[in-house]
C-alpha cells in the first residue's frame, strides 16, 4: 500500500483528498501546519507528499527545500496561487509537479500515478540498499553497519546520522540540516549535539592513524568525501 502525506491547512480540502485517496487504496496521513508536516516528512517514509504552498508555521517552499536536502520523495504542490512566478518558485524548490486549486481529483490521481510509475522505473534500475564507502558498509534494510567486514553496534541516532552522511557523499551537510533530519525540526536540542554524535561515530568507525571517515567543514558542518 502506497503511503501519502498531505500537508494542507484547509481542513475540508485535506479531508476531501484524504477520503478520495483512501478510496483508491492509499494509506494517508494529514498535517495542517508547516512544522508538523516537515517533521512527518523527514521522519517517516512516504511514496508521495502533497504539499500546500501557503501554510501556517512554515511555508511550502521552505518545507520542500528542507525535504530536498535529504530526500527524493516525490512532491506535488497544491496551491491557489497560480502565477508563473509561483509555479517556478515551487518547482525550483524541488517539487516534482504543481496543481492549482480547486483540485480536480481525477487529475491529481493521474499525476500521482505518473510520478509513482517514474519512481518504480528508477528503483528497478538501482542496486540493493547497500551504502558502502572506504570500508564502511550500511545495509539500510537490516540496519546493520560493518567496518572492514566487522559489525559495528550503533545507537538509533548514530545510525541515522551515518545514513544521512553516506547518502550525501561529497555534499557538505550543515549542523542545522543534520539536526532537522535526525533529531527533528521541533527538537529542543542544540546544534552542538550534532558534534557530540559525530565524535561518537568517529570513535566507533575510524581506524587509529588513518584519516577520519567524516570530515569537518569548519564553521559549517560535516561531509564524507569520495576521495
How do residues 110-127 score in pLDDT, each as one tens digit?
889 888 887 776 655 555
Residue in this structure with the C-alpha cell 551515518, named with its chain if needed:
162
Percent of the chain topping pLDDT 90:
48
Q: C-alpha grid cell for residue 51?
A: 504539499
74 touches 115 (CB < 8 A): yes
Measured CA distances, 7 to 48, 164, 181 (Å): 11, 24, 17
Mean pLDDT computed over 45-59: 92
Measured CA distances, 125 to 1, 58, 92, 138 (Å): 21, 35, 26, 20
More confident residue, 186 or 26: 26
Residue 177 CB neighbours (<10 A): 20
> What is this structure's pTM?
0.64
Q: Name which of 91-100, 108-117, 152-161 the model is least confident about.
A: 91-100
- For residue 178, pLDDT over 90 is answered with no
Mean pLDDT computed over 38-62: 92
Residue 136 CB neighbours (<10 A): 19
Report how far Cα 136 is from the mean position of its chain's Cα atoms.
22
More confident residue, 141 or 87: 141
- For residue 186, pLDDT over 60 is answered with no
**CA gap 198, 217 in Å, rounded:** 12
Backbone torsions φ then ψ of 119, nearest 5 degrees = -65, -40
Beta bridge partners of 216: 222
- For residue 143, pLDDT over 60 is answered with yes
- Domains belonging to the chain, first-starting first, are 3-125 (3.40.50.2300), 130-223 (1.10.10.10)
Amino acid at each position: 500500500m502506497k503511503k501519502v502525506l498531505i500537508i494542507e491547512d484547509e481542513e475540508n480540502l485535506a479531508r476531501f483528498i484524504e477520503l478520495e485517496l483512501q478510496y483508491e487504496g492509499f494509506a494517508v496521513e494529514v498535517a495542517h501546519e508547516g512544522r508538523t508536516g516537515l517533521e512527518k516528512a523527514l521522519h517517516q517514509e512516504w511514496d508521495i507528499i502533497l504539499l500546500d504552498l501557503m501554510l501556517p508555521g512554515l511555508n511550502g517552499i521552505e518545507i520542500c527545500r528542507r525535504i530536498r536536502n535529504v530526500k527524493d520523495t516525490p512532491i506535488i504542490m497544491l496551491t491557489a496561487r497560480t502565477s508563473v512566478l509561483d509555479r517556478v518558485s515551487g518547482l525550483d524548490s524541488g517539487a516534482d509537479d504543481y496543481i492549482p486549486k480547486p483540485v480536480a481529483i481525477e487529475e491529481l490521481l493521474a499525476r500521482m500515478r505518473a510520478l509513482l510509475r517514474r519512481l518504480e522505473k528508477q528503483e528497478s534500475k538501482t542496486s540493493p540498499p547497500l551504502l558502502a564507502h572506504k570500508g564502511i558498509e550500511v545495509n539500510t534494510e537490516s540496519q546493520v553497519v560493518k567496518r572492514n567486514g566487522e559489525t559495528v553496534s550503533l545507537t538509533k541516532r548514530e545510525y541515522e546520522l551515518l545514513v544521512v552522511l553516506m547518502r550525501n557523499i561529497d555534499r557538505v551537510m550543515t549542523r542545522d540540516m543534520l539536526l532537522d533530519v535526525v533529531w527533528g525540526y521541533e527538537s529542543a536540542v542544540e546544534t552542538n549535539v550534532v558534534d557530540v554524535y559525530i565524535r561518537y561515530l568517529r570513535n566507533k568507525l575510524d581506524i587509529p592513524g588513518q584519516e577520519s571517515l567524516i570530515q569537518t567543514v569548519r564553521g559549517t558542518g560535516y561531509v564524507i568525501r569520495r576521495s
